[in-house]
Structure 1
Amino acid sequence: YSRNATDCSILATILLALASSTALAESVNEVSVDAQGPKDCSHMFIPTTDWKVIHPDECIPAGLHIRINFDTGLKEAKLKNPNDDAVDANAAVAIVHQGEDGELKVTNPNEAKPEEKQSLLAEGLGVDDLVHHLTWLEEEVSDIDEGANLMEDSWLRARLVGLLSSHEDAGVRSHAARVFAGAVSNNFNAQRAAVAEVDGILAAVNNETNFQVRKSLAHAVASLVRGNKVAARVFWRHNGFKALKHLYDVSKVDRRVQNKVKELVNDLFDVDMLAEGSEVDEEGLVLMKEGGFCDGSVSDEGITSLCTKAAEVASRKTEL
């Protein structure tokens, strides 16, 4: 999906259950769709497994797949099929809700109010809907402004961390971690807001058992702290090195994760600043050593050099 797309005939497949949650209804200031529909509608839409046109006088039952042709205004719906593999991760996402007059209302997420955008990750959405919306968000937040906007929305930020740390589906957790990583990568404003969630990210790192999600979490952590000394300092003061060492230890079957961890530890320190005796970097060295990276289990020339420096710093501080 591209916000610059001009082909309005693209069918926007919408995987949003219209009877989601009360929170969704409140977030868009509209009533949620129930099985009865508005009292003044004359017909009930009868869904099938095939796409059918929704007529203006029809009420919409809960939990359907809906698509809109933005060129013609044609609205269609069909029953959800859990085995339907026709979901296009690149299809456009729209926020759809039904007004009291029974008419479907469509909002482009790029033009949505913050509370409307929150409905994309609303409580009560199914796995398919969440994965679809997260996939769309992952591309969206690659834009610097959109990444910052997401992280500066405290509800969306906390919801995203909740999904990556505790959702029961590993696919949702992995996608949420990738959205987080995409939003904060090389984005100072997004990083500045996201450091408020560092404890949640580290808890996810410590508790995750799925190797694919671990890989996504490693990317999220690296994107948060790389190139941002303030974020790095918050990270290591919240036992970040212990979390990274845990991730390294439990990833022996996946050297890619271990390599990501080693690369990140090296990137956290500025060699020139260490040579000049930077107190910030020296504090990080001590915490890295306390986090277990100098116990001999990590084979890496750069980290070995950092551990030597950490021992010198610790010795000097002891003498003082």
Structure 2
Amino acid sequence: MHYKFLCVPAFLSLAVSVSASSGSFEDQICPDGGGACYPRIFEPSDNWQIIRPDQEVPAGLHIRMDFQTGLREAKYLNDADDTQQESSVIAIDEESNAAVVAGPLGMAEDSEEGTEPGSDDSRNIWGDSTYNHKPNPYLSASEFSEFSENLEYVISSAEPSHESTLDSSSSLSSSKPQHDANDSSNNDFAKLISSFKIIEDFAHEIDFGVRLAEPNVLSALLYILASHKKPEVRSLSARTIGAALRNNAPALDLAAPAKTITNLLQSIVNEPDSEVRARTVFALGSAIQGRFGRQEFWTSHGGESLRQRFLDSDAGDDYMGRCAIFVEDSFVNEDMISDTVTKSNENGLQLEMGQWCSAFQDALSQERVSNSDARNKIFSALVAIKTRFPTYCPVQDSFRQWIARKVDERAQLKRLQKPGSAVVIHSAQSDDSSFASEVEFMDRLVETRHVLFGNPKASRKAFVDEF
């Protein structure tokens, strides 16, 4: 017996508590575009029937959705359905169209006759017999339909035959789209951008994030990120992946077979556009939160891949700032670290943080960052590494000299500053808020100059003198 699997939120395979509003069963819905009218209230039976657009569904029915078509079907809830209320996958026998619950997000293979649903043979890919995902019961059928339609179009752009939006033979471009005489191509590109933005908006919801994390779907998004000729599309693909996986444990588990971390790192190494690289680091920060993420990052030599681009002369401020956030959140902050991975890779983690300590000092002391926001992020990550891994984060002479110059600059600034005036320093704009932000950054430099990056015993006197 062969099955195809429809991944649906659990609430779609439960007894649904939808209250029909008052009204006669003779009320009709007549589509504006023509076509036969049909009852406003869905009339259930013991067999699966399609729920028509805008139909009201009585309470206590078993509902399922086919994500390929976006259609919902419903029937009376029977005893067999009631015993499987926690299931999230419905297997459909393509010959008889009979629905069989295959277990929570199961990856069941062909089963012999008599195999009970939910048995060991129908566990999910991690061998778990439970699936911790509480679906959102307030998502509407129209939302699922809109999401499915746009996702189908996006996935189609990952096919080499989709010539209007994807040219697999061309090299990646970092330029913005130019006018194209081919109106069809322009229209397809606009449609793809629109569809991507729609599914990105939906991706923040756990149910839709789970759908996007399915290996076949995620693989298509990763392919688009790695090979689409338009940087706008690659950027949207990265943002969609990041939104789908962020703070979404079920989606993170599903994403592991697609080798998400490995593919994202490869895209960063090959990506010519600094903005797309920054968006991909965001996706990487979301993907690494899973229980398999950090291990895959170590195995794939993730730190080396990120630093390879970070040290480039054209790395880009946004990318460098994103790297700093990623390192601080993923490997320095206590709350973000898996104890198991940290203990098994303790020495490797320390050496890795030492490498980033050096890279961050170089970026600051060589004035490679022109954007003050990115600079502040890099300095924050450096302070965090030096605080937690002081032995593995030696201070470079060039960095001490850079701090000394900044402290002198701060002192001159305070002497030159007059009430009501605005002074431009470094990359700050000549307005009060930017000026205040720059002074705040320099104050932090003074505070950490001796405590972290100099002689702590001299810090008290120096702190008083410098302030």
Shorter-chain TM-score range? 0.5 to 0.7
Residues 162-311 of structure 1 mapped to structure 2, 5 A cutoff: 162-195=223-256, 196-225=259-288, 227-228=289-290, 230-250=292-312, 254-269=316-331, 278-280=342-344, 282-286=346-350, 288-289=352-353, 293-294=357-358, 296-299=361-364, 300-305=382-387, 308-310=390-392
Uncovered stretches (5+) of structure 1, i.e. residues with no partner: 1-69, 76-93, 97-106, 313-320
Matches within 5 A, 1:68-79: 72-73=32-33
2 CA distance for matches of 1:156 and 1:128?
21
For 1:132-147, what aligned pairs fall within 5 Å after superposition? 132-147=194-209
Q: CA RMSD in A?
A: 3.8
- Quick check: 2:260–2:287 contact (8 Å CA) kept in 1? no
Q: Do the aligned residues in 1 keep the contact of 2:358 with 2:393 (CA within 8 Å)?
A: no
Count residues with an aligned counterpart. 212
AA paired with 1:230? Answer: F
- By relative contact order (CA 8 Å, sep 6+), the higher-ranking structure is 1
Match of 2:438 in 1: none
Contact 2:239 2:283 in 1 (8 A): yes
Mapped contact 2:242–2:286 kept (Cα < 8 A): yes
Q: Deviations over 1:251-296 (max 9, x none)?
A: 766333222211211112355599x995146155146258665355
Q: 1:304 Cα shift?
A: 3.5
| Identical counterparts, % of pairs | 21
Q: Is the 8 A contact 2:210 2:251 kept in 1?
A: yes
- TM-score under structure 2 normalisation? 0.39
CA distance in 2, matches of 1:291, 1:130: 40
Q: Distance in 1 between matches of 2:210 and 2:290?
A: 15
Q: 1:165, CA displacement in angstroms?
A: 1.2
> Contact 1:161 / 1:200 at 8 angstroms: preserved in 2?
yes
User: Are the structure 2 counterparts of residues 266 and 251 from structure 1 closer, same or farther at C-alpha, using a change threshold of 3 Å?
Assistant: farther
CA contact (8 A) 2:225 2:234 kept: yes
Deviation (angstroms), 1:250 = 3.3
Counterpart of 1:102?
Answer: none
2:206–2:244 Cα contact (<8 Å) kept: yes
Compute the TM-score of the two structures, normalised by the length of structure 1.
0.55
